[in-house]
Amino acid sequence: MPAKGEETKKKILEKAAELFVQKGYSAVTMKDLCEATGLSRGGLYRHFKSTGEMMAMLINEEQEIADNEFKKAIAEGKSALHMLDAFIIRHQHFLLSSTSALEAAINQFALLDENGRKINEERVWSTVNRTAEVIRIGQQEGLFIDGDPEIIAWHIVFFIGGIRTQTVLENPGADFIKQQIEYLRTFLLKNK
């Protein structure tokens, strides 16, 4: 696809994310996106067949960024503590941003769309696998608590998921979010 086509696709995804944040996944229509982007139906459908396809791409891009950051950290030999801190900072920034409401839209997508359920499951497993690997490394470095890395990773993913969902439902404030996210670090460190 030419550069202009990629630019248009990026613009569509940005507008889709904004609308998903404002209205939720289930309330956004292709007509809404035509209006938000200034594209005709044909112009929009040339890039995306549905709002589900857009949401899937947003989720996949989020995971690709996380995977690339993780692979880069591993390749550079970063410590588990460095990777944990990067994980904490990334989630804290997301939770304190205006786009945190995207989490509710992602949850709707997973509940209402069979493909959404599959994509969200892949998202969760990908996060668990990366987190478990960081925990394994931290355990080998003697920094992190003992235990099955995958079980600990599941606890962390559920914890983060709960905070991400709760933040959308009831804005608990920046201090609370920072405190809860920082707890992950305390929880994992062997010598607190």
pLDDT digits (tens, 9 = 90+) for 50-65: 999 999 999 999 999 9
Per-residue model confidence as pLDDT tens digits over 151-177: 999 999 999 988 888 888 888 888 988
Flag whether 145 is in a domain. Answer: yes
Report the 10 Å Cβ neighbour count for 152: 23
Its pTM stands at 0.86
- Name residues whose C-beta falls within 8 Å of residue 188's C-beta, 6 or more positions apart in sequence: 84, 135, 138, 143, 144, 145, 152
Q: Identify the CATH number of the domain in which residue 57 sits.
A: 1.10.357.10
Number of independent structural domains in the chain: 1
For residues 19-45, average pLDDT: 93
pLDDT higher than threshold 50 for residue 68: yes
Residue for token pair 């904004």 = 18
Structural domain boundaries enclosing 114: 52-188
Flag whether 155 is in a domain. Answer: yes
For residues 69-75, average pLDDT: 95
Angle of the 80-95 helix axis to the 149-169 helix axis, nearest 10: 20
pLDDT-derived band at 2 (thresholds 50, 70, 90) equals low
What sign results for the dihedral spanned by CA atoms 134, 71, 86, 121? negative
Predicted pLDDT of residue 72: 96
